[in-house]
Amino acid sequence: MQLSLFEHQESYAHEDYIILTGNKCAHDFIVDNKTWNCLILYGPSGSGKTHLAHIWQKFNGAIFINLNNFVDAVNSSNAFILEDIEKIQNEVLFLHCYNYAKENSKKLLLTSSLAPSALTFKLNDLKSRILSTISVGITLENEELLRLLLIKQLTDRQLQVSSRVINYILTQSERSLSRVRHIVDIIDEKLMYRSTGVTIPFVRSVLNLGDSKNL
């Protein structure tokens, strides 16, 4: 057992990406498809979009940007990543960045928690460009997504947990991404004071803490 004496650091290594039925297409498109210059990667929060973006970053020498630093960064690379485009409010600047990347043959990976058709941009030119952009989605079922998140959170903290314990956590806890994150946080915290590892009785005590609203 390795104790977490410091705040955990999330791993974005390619070998740590967990491929499941609902994300295999997106993974293969990011890793193997070299034909696109602009792509929208969409899927629910916690589904692994940022992990895939980091994998693509390493393959392409890409830079994570925001709208404010795009102009300064544009000459530093030929590949860029702009995340959470559903949160963008400055649509004019976003359109400018999009057009600049397209016109100068820069690669641009965009991520979104919403499918392109569900984005509510008001600028018509921006709408049309987004809808015409190649997109690929992560469509994990709720149970599969929770299992993916749980395994990833435990792995990032270097916690070795059996499949029996993982199944127990999923069957006994509330079905939500935030709840899974809270449970892993408290497991990591409380495990420092125990030597028995992550067992079902230990997890049961953690879940009881949650019932007492101590999570």
Q: Order across the sheet with 63-64: list the strands.
A: 63-64, 79-82, 107-112, 38-42, 134-137
Residue 213, pLDDT above cutoff 60:
no
Whether pLDDT at 215 is above 50: no
| Cα maximum dimension of the chain | 60
Predicted confidence (pLDDT) per residue in 90-133, tens digit: 999 999 999 999 999 999 999 999 999 999 999 999 999 999 99
pTM: 0.71
pLDDT at 114: 96
Q: CA-based Rg of the chain, rounded to a whole angstrom?
A: 20
Residue 166's nearest CA partner among 190, 139, 146 is 146
Domains annotated on the chain, with CATH:
22-137 (3.40.50.300), 142-211 (1.10.8)
The helix-helix angle for 200-211 and 177-191 (nearest 10°) equals 120
Cβ atoms of 36 and 53 closer than 8 Å: no
> Residues 110, 82: contact at Cβ < 8 Å?
yes
What is the mean pLDDT of the segment spanning 130-156?
Answer: 85
Torsion of CA 14, 17, 22, 27, to 10 degrees: -10
Residues 6+ apart with CB under 8 A from 204: 168, 172
- Evaluate if residue 135 carries a pLDDT over 70: yes
pLDDT of residue 7 exceeding 70? no
In contact, 206 and 183? CB cutoff 8 Å: yes
- The per-residue pLDDT for 194 is 67
76 pLDDT exceeds 80? yes
DSSP 8-state assignment for residue 212: T
Question: Three-class SS string for 17-56?
Answer: CCCCCCCHHHHHHHHHCCCCCEEEEECCCCCCHHHHHHHH
Using CA atoms, how far residue 211 sits from 51, 183, 201, in Å, is 32, 11, 15
CA dihedral 100, 104, 105, 109 (to 10 degrees): -20
> Using 50, 70 and 90 to split pLDDT, how confident is the model at 56?
very high
